[in-house]
Amino acid sequence: MIEIRGLCKQFGAFQALNSIDLVIPKGTVFGFVGPNGAGKSTTMSILATLLAPTSGTAKVGGCDVTRHPKQVRKLIGYMPDFFGVYDQFKATEYLHFYGASYGIPKAERARLIPQLLELVNLTDKKDAYVDTLSRGMKQRLCLARCLVHDPELLILDEPASGLDPRARIEMREILKELKSMGKTIVISSHILPELAEMVDEIGVIEHGRMVAKGNVQEIQSRMRVKRILQIRLAGREEEAEQYLGGRPFVNRILRDGRGVHVHFDGHDEEQSELLHGLIEQGFRIISFSEAQTNLEDVFLEITKGDGEGE
C-alpha cells in the first residue's frame, strides 16, 4: 500500500527526513513513533500529497505522490495533528460538506453519513453544532470526515493526542473496527503502550532517520531492553537467589511471596541460558515468565541517541 524509497526532506539547511525507506503492505496497521520533531508529521504530509519531497520517492497504492497526487488523494483519508473543524456546522452538515467536496452525490451522502456517525459513536450528536462537541468527539468527527470517500489507507497523525483515557479507549476501539474492515492504517502517537496493543508493526523515527522497524515483539527481542523475569520455584528460593545473583546480565533480584523477580538485560538466547542453568542446578521450577516490557521502554532504549537499534 505504501512504498517509500530514499525519502529526504529539507527545510532550508535543515534535514528533516534523511533517506527513509519503508514498505507497508495492504491491511497493515503501522505505528509510527518517535520523539517530538523526529519527522513523523513530515513523512505523513508527504504521503498525504501536501508536501513535496526534496528527493526520493513515495508511492501509495502504486501511485507516486508527486506525479499523481489526485489519484493518491482518492486512496487516502488524512487526519492531521491539528483539526480544523468548522464550528458553525452541525455534525451532519460537516460530513455533508466533506462528502460533497469529494463529489459524493447527495442521496448517497444521506445514506452514508448516519453509518459514519454510528461508526464513530456520534449518532446522538448528529444535530449538535461542532463547537459544542468535546475534544474527543471532535477528533472522532474528524475521523469520520476522513472516511467519507471510503479510502483504502488512513493516515492518522496523533489521533489520540490530548484525549483523556476514556476518549483514547473509544478511539482505539474505532481503529480496531477499521482494521477489521481491512483498511491499512498508519498512525503516529506518543502514547506508545496503546499503540503496541493495536499495531501490527512499528517504525521508530529519530532525527529524520528510521532507527528501527518490524513487529513489536521482534523489536523488543532485538533490543537489550531491561526485562523482569518472574520465577516460581518449588522450594530452595534463597539458594536460587544466590545462584541467580552470580549469573551474567542479572542486575537485581527481588523475592516476595509470589516468587523471585530478576531484573535482566540480556537477549533471548541469554535468557534461555539462564533457565537452562537453573534446571541444570536441579532447581524445581514451577514457572519462568517474562513480565511484559512495554513499548515505552523499547522506545527509550532505541532513541537514546546511539542509533544502536539500526
What's the chain's length in residues?
310
Nearest approach in angstroms of CB 303 to ligand ATP is: 11
In angstroms, the Cα distances linking 124 to 91, 119, 120 are 10, 12, 11
CA distance 173 to 188: 16
To ligand ATP, the closest distance from the beta carbon of 256 in angstroms equals 39
d(CA 197, CA 200) in angstroms, rounded, equals: 9
* Burial track 276-289 (b if 16+ CB lie within 10 A, e otherwise): eebeeeebeeeebe
How many C-beta neighbours within 10 Å does residue 87 have? 12
Query: d(Cα 22, Cα 146) in Å, to the nearest integer?
Result: 23
State the minimum distance, in angstroms, from the CB of residue 196 to ligand ATP: 18
Q: Which is nearer to ligand ATP, 133 or 171 (CB)?
A: 171
Q: Closer CB to ligand ATP, residue 92 or residue 139?
A: 139
> Which residues fall within 8 angstroms of residue 176, CB to CB, at 6 or more apart?
198
Smallest separation, CB 22 to ligand ATP (Å): 14
127, three cell numbers: 444535530
Q: Minimal distance in Å, beta carbon 159 to ligand ATP? A: 13
CB of 54 to ligand ATP, least distance (A): 12
Which grid coordinates belong to 244?
Answer: 541467580
The residue among 81 and 297 lying less far from ligand ATP, judged by its C-beta, is 81
Specify the residue, 16 or 160, whose C-beta has the smaller distance to ligand ATP. Answer: 16
For residue 203, the minimal CB distance to ligand ATP (Å) is 12
Name 127's Cβ contacts closer than 8 Å, sequence gap at least 6.
Answer: 90, 91, 92
- CB nearer ligand ATP, residue 47 or residue 122: 47
Q: Kindly list the residues in this chain that would bind ligand ATP in the complex (CB under 6 A).
A: 11, 14, 16, 34, 36-42, 81
The residue (of 112 and 298) whose beta carbon lies closer to ligand ATP is 298
Cα–Cα nearest to 76, from 184, 151, 188? 151
Question: Around 193, how many Cα atoms within 13 Å sit in the side-chain half-sphere?
Answer: 7
Kindly tell me which of 17 and 116 has the beta carbon lying closer to ligand ATP: 17
CA distance 11 to 127: 43
Least distance (Å) between residue 98 CB and ligand ATP: 24
- DSSP class per residue in 187-245: EE-S-HHHHHHH-SEEEEEETTEEEEEE-HHHHHHHTT--EEEEEEESS-HHHHHHHHH
Nearer to ligand ATP, 11 or 86 (CB): 11
